[in-house]
Amino acid sequence: MAISTQRNTHLLANYKCILICAAMALASCQYGFDSAAIAGFQAMPGFLRVFGYYDPNLSPSLSSSSSHNKGGTGGWAIETRTQQLISSTLNIGTILGVCLTGLFARYFGRRPGIWTACVISFSACGIQIGTTSVGALCVGRILLGTSNAFFFTFCNVYSVESTPAHLRAVISSLFSIWVSFGSLLGAIVNETTAGMVESRLSYQIPLATLYAIPGTLCILVLFVPESPRWLLVKNRVEKAEESLRRLRGETLKEEFLVEEFVEMQKGIEEEKEVAAEGAAFWDMFRGSNLRRTIITLGVVVSHSSSGLWLFIAYSTYFFQQAGIKDSFQMSILFQLAAILGTAMGMYLMYKHMGRRSMMLTGSVLSGLCMMGSALADTIKPKSVESSKAVAGFSIAYIFLSMGFSNGLSWPLSAEIPSSRLRVLTLSFATGVNYFCAWLISYCSPYFINPKSLNWGGRYCWIWAASNAITFVFFYLMLPEIKGRSLEEIDELFHKGISVRDFPKYECESSTRAHEVAVHEVKGAERTRVESSEGEKSPEVEPRSQREV
């Protein structure tokens, strides 16, 4: 028996859970906004005047007197090493952050994790706005990376742990929607301020705008219940049930609400019984958890292997070096395509496609788009035709990758680990991913900077090959888990079910939970009946005695 069909309620009936998870997912907006902003700063004269250098040999397509033409840098440029530091230090901070999230989650819940990230974020923005030193700017980037790690770890885990099984991927994909929306906002703000060529305000205004996200989150999280699964892990059973009731509202009848809660409770109890005492980190590499850790690692690292970090770190600069005239407007179109792709992906995963098929499709399509950009710039490098081709394939890449693999990878990576090890496994995988992202951010300037290899679009050959490797990994390792509760996923991995047999295996956990729920609900009804009869007995008893 699978999950009771009565638990598969309509999407709109779960509006309360959607709103709660959307509030938590706002945390990822900072990540997108900052990525787009920093990518734009490196093509912004106001920023380059402070952190770059003037090169008289560069054609000044943007003169200091023209504040409306945003197509060039007016002869200002940036050193390869400075580019490396600004982009890669964010990833260093993220690696530091994910190392701390596992320890933090041992003692504190998901909501305190968001509040902690807000405090760190406020400090990071203040440092970056006020400094004119590359060193201090990098300190601010490290702090912002640390807050990002807390934000997307705890908001992603919260959504996966709190949503109904049949809606888990759709609601959890709000994470990707907020990332893309934040990137769009960052690109729009950059495009608006880029013309302030004489002023530091051109980059300080986007950084100051970033305060709005943690400020809003601090208020919204006050109204969000803690994750019921985390509360169960901490043996706070009554609070966990109360949290689940708040998340589900009136969408489920009592019997099926109890069924879901019992399934959570039994699954976590069984996991604790087999856990090695005091060895949580090494538990990720023992028994069935090793397989889950490898899959989680592959899913998260697919962000880097798909080539996404080329655009996260250097999109505006990359478009500029590829010969695209208005690189800032191109960045806005790029982020709009990301939002549309993510929305398409949410529809597909809700109505038509499973996790495995979407990840496989995404890696193939991403590889083909990267190949198209590389081929165009190889045949006619730095030409008008190749610039148009690179622009077209870049838009297609972000639309298709966010619509399939990259849009799904974050919720999927939080579904695979067990409840007890979820934050720890996701943090470990995210740390590895951001180490890869750091390498990409550090090395990419050598390939695209005119003072180095100056490959331009030809750099995409590397990402076409890495997408092919990613496809092979998903085909061999990634099972289909659509519609499965987190406790059913635990059972499937614990029993060592093969990738091919995952979709058709009948789980026992859902059957046991349903039987217990029916028994508990009937028992509660009998208790209420007996209690109501007992309340009437003082009136009935004297009457029966008179009859006797």
Q: What pLDDT is stored for residue 74 in this prediction? A: 60
Task: Tell me if 168 is assigned to some domain.
Answer: yes
Q: At what angle do helices 405-415 and 422-448 cross, to 10 degrees?
A: 150
Q: What pLDDT is stored for residue 317 in this prediction? A: 67
Task: Tell me if 515 is assigned to some domain.
Answer: no
Give the count of domains, the chain. 1
Q: What pLDDT is stored for residue 514 in this prediction? A: 63
Between CA 438 and CA 441, with CA 439 as vertex, the angle to 5 degrees is 60
Task: Tell me if 107 is assigned to some domain.
Answer: yes
Q: How distant, in Å, are the alpha carbons of 299, 318, 434, 514 from that of 477?
A: 10, 34, 22, 31
CATH of the domain at 33: 1.20.1250.20
CA distance 324 to 327: 6
Task: Tell me if 546 is assigned to some domain.
Answer: no
Tens of pLDDT, residues 49-85: 888 777 776 555 443 333 334 445 567 777 777 877 8
Domain that holds residue 315: 26-64+77-504
Q: What pLDDT is stored for residue 293 in this prediction? A: 94
Q: Per the structure block, which two tokens stand in for 518?
A: 């029916």
Task: Tell me if 543 is assigned to some domain.
Answer: no
Q: What pLDDT is stored for residue 394 in this prediction? A: 85
CA distance 523 to 193: 66
Task: Tell me if 72 is assigned to some domain.
Answer: no
Tens of pLDDT, residues 348-389: 888 888 899 999 999 999 999 999 988 988 888 777 787 788
Task: Tell me if 293 is assigned to some domain.
Answer: yes
pLDDT along the chain (548 residues), means of 10: 72 89 89 78 78 68 41 66 78 87 86 94 92 89 92 88 87 84 83 74 87 92 92 91 90 85 84 62 86 94 86 69 70 84 88 90 94 87 78 89 88 86 87 84 75 77 93 95 87 91 82 68 65 53 36
Question: Which residues contact residue 150 at a Cβ distance below 8 angstroms, ignoring those fewer than 6 apart?
Answer: 97, 100, 101, 104, 113, 114, 116, 117, 120
Nearest Cα neighbor of 286 from 478, 472, 424, 488 is: 424
Tens of pLDDT, residues 160-198: 889 888 888 888 888 888 888 888 888 788 778 877 766
Task: Tell me if 462 is assigned to some domain.
Answer: yes
